[in-house]
Homo-oligomer: A and B are copies of this chain.
Amino acid sequence: MCVPGCQEVVTQRLSRRNLFRGAAGMAAVAAFSSTPVAGAFAAPVSFTRVVDLTHVLDPAFPTFFGKPQLEVRKLFTFDKDGFNLNEWVVNEHTGTHLDTPFHFSKDGLSADALAIETLVVPLAVVDVSAKAAANPDYQLVAADLDAWEAANGPLPAGVALALYSGWEKKLGTDGFRNADAAGVLHFPGFHPDLAAVLARKGASGVVVDTLSLDHGASKDFAFHYKWLGSGRWGVEAAANLGALPPKGATLVVGGPKIKGASGGPSRVLALV
């Protein structure tokens, strides 16, 4: 159930739409383990190249809320002071960034508390770009996972599952947020039912190339609540997922280690 007042506040502040965390959602959270599986390197991990999954972040980078979430203040400049140094005012959920369990739970792990072993993990990439091109509200479902596993074998332990929707090609256009006349966003995301499936398969985290783990038109952020609420993490607004193989890469989530952070701009890499 929504805590007192939260529905109104979130309606206004988070999405300008209606938030509802029903009993079904809470039951689903309780139904799967809250202990994330660490990425285990039983065998050596190898790579020969690095793919940067991080967008350049500037104050104009699109945001879920629709307003700028970064200000860069020049405190010192080389011409005047002999060195350059800025200060940032930045919302934790800006640019390519980490969502921690704490973001959508009362006392889940914050960014400083996530074990590093859960942030360096095998990466699986599910390409739903064709479906997303046909339906911007597409939600990744178990059948998509089944198809991936039929082609690539079982998901490795501790995997991070990336949803490649092709959305980054829309960056720099209104199509990235894709707001309709009522202000509702339209982009793909994870179906809430996938949280329990992925948890059962031992996944550590999920990655999207859009502005939210849930599809843009979600009214209840149900995937956020189920997935983050179960002690796992997400990465939003990742870049270059289309440049990766469906399996075999290792994800490095260079998340902030700021005390109590609900997430934050991160350097996200794939070792291929």
Interface size on A, residues (CB 8 A): 78
Nearest B residue to A2 via CB reads B82
Report whether A47 and B49 are in contact in the complex, using a CB–CB cutoff of 8 Å.
no
Contact with B along A25-58 (1 / 0, CB 8 A): 0000000000000000101111111111011111
Select one of B19, B41, B255 contacting A48, CB under 8 A: B41
What is the CA–CA distance of A253 and B254 in the complex, to the nearest angstrom? Answer: 8
Residues in A83-119 with C-beta less than 8 Å from chain B: 83-93, 95-96, 102-106, 112, 116-117
Residues in A204-253 with C-beta less than 8 Å from chain B: 221, 224, 252-253
17 residue pairs bridging A and B, Cβ less than 8 Å apart: A10-B81, A14-B83, A44-B48, A45-B46, A50-B116, A57-B259, A58-B260, A72-B259, A78-B105, A85-B93, A86-B261, A88-B261, A89-B89, A95-B258, A252-B252, A255-B267, A266-B267
A92 contacts across to B, CB distance below 8 A: 85-88
A70 contacts across to B, CB distance below 8 A: 258
Query: Is the C-beta of A174 less than 8 angstroms from some C-beta in chain B?
Result: no
Report whether B103 and A84 are in contact in the complex, using a CB–CB cutoff of 8 Å.
yes
What is the CA–CA distance of A146 and B201 in the complex, to the nearest angstrom? Answer: 50
Name A's B-contacting residues (CB within 8 A): 2-3, 5-7, 9-10, 13-14, 19, 21, 41, 43-52, 54-58, 70, 72, 75-76, 78-93, 95-96, 102-106, 112, 116-117, 120, 221, 224, 252-267, 269, 271
Nearest B residue to A92 via CB reads B86
Nearest B residue to A59 via CB reads B259
Whole-angstrom distance between the Cβ of A240 and the nearest chain B Cβ = 10
Report whether A47 and B44 are in contact in the complex, using a CB–CB cutoff of 8 Å.
yes
Report whether A14 and B48 are in contact in the complex, using a CB–CB cutoff of 8 Å.
no
Report whether A269 and B84 are in contact in the complex, using a CB–CB cutoff of 8 Å.
no
Report whether B87 and A9 are in contact in the complex, using a CB–CB cutoff of 8 Å.
no
